[in-house]
Amino acid sequence: MLFKIIILIALIAGVYYFFIKSKPIEYKTKKEKSKKDSEDIMVECEKCKTYVSSKEAIIKNGKYYCSKECAGVN
Ligand SMILES: [Zn+2]
């Protein structure tokens, strides 16, 4: 009787663990998909070599900069 209960608990724990573990993967795929849709790519700053997203980057003379300071914009 006790053995049956242990098996049952292990089974529930296994299913529960699998469900919890599979969730972040699903979330990650969803996030990556939305990231691809918005075409948000990482670009390297021409001055300090810091990687910034294309949305946040400042484009000056066809080159990407992480901030106004790096771009030389006052
Ligand atoms: Zn920079």
Cα 45 to Cα 40: distance, rounded to the nearest angstrom: 15
| Ligand 1 center from residue 12 Cα (angstroms) | 51
What's the total number of domains in the chain? 2
pLDDT reported for residue 26: 62
pLDDT over 70 (residue 62): yes
In this prediction, residue 25 carries a pLDDT of 61
Mean per-residue pLDDT over the chain, rounded: 83
Entry pTM: 0.46
Q: How far is the CA of 45 from the centre of ligand 1 (A)?
A: 5
The β-bridge partners of 44 are 51
How far is ligand 1, taken at its centre, from the CA of residue 69, in Å? 7
pLDDT above 80: residue 73: no
More confidently predicted of 52 and 2: 52
Residue 19 shares a structural domain with residue 46: no
How remote is the CA of residue 34 from the centroid of ligand 1, in Å? 26
Query: Does 59 lie in the same domain as 49?
Result: yes
Same domain for 25 and 4? yes
Cα–ligand 1 centroid distance for 64 (angstroms)? 9
Mean pLDDT value of segment 46-73: 93
Residue 32: which domain range? 1-37
